[in-house]
Structure 1
């Protein structure tokens, strides 16, 4: 398989477990929490807000209590710095 997995290797149970975990959180926090009777536009907006929170504001304990997007930026900057050395 071509490409790089965001976590671990590609095409194994770890990719599926990560997707299932995120999907379960999404359903619990967005779909079930906000209840039925919403329009497609309302669901799309709630989804966009949740994804933004999940990636940019959620504090992740395994990452030193910083958001995943910030951790990725710091990681990439570290890689670029070490490549330049």
Structure 2
């Protein structure tokens, strides 16, 4: 995971320890080590978070669900040879 302040809090570390989850951080300043997540986060931020002024958590969830369906089932991805993620899984 990233080394941003939201991921290095004592609360997260305590929660992870209680759940027997080992936290593994990428090297500071090396987002390329977590490229898939960084790319997804960028897409989600640009295509959902930056476009809406949400009125409720329920609205965030609804819009996110719609976006995930398009992202996984309808939208081709360059890294998958212009296939959708679900189309790629069917072939693999």
Q: TM-score, normalised on structure 1?
A: 0.62
Q: Which has the higher helix share?
A: 1
Which one of 74, 79, 82 corresponds to residue 57 of structure 1? 74
- For CA contacts below 8 A with separation 6 or more, give which structure has more relative contact order: 2
41 and 15 in structure 1: CA distance in 2 versus 1, 3 angstrom threshold:
farther
15 and 47 in structure 1: CA distance in 2 versus 1, 3 angstrom threshold:
farther
1:14-69 Cα offsets, whole Å, 9 max, x none, are 662211110111011001112x2421111000111111111111112343322111
58 and 39 in structure 1: CA distance in 2 versus 1, 3 angstrom threshold:
same
TM-align CA RMSD = 2.1
Q: In the alignment, does 2:83 pair up with 1:66?
A: yes
Structure 2 residue runs without a partner (length 5+): 1-24
Q: Corresponding residue for 1:78?
A: none
- How many positions carry a matched residue from both structures? 64
Q: In the alignment, does 2:43 pair up with 1:25?
A: yes
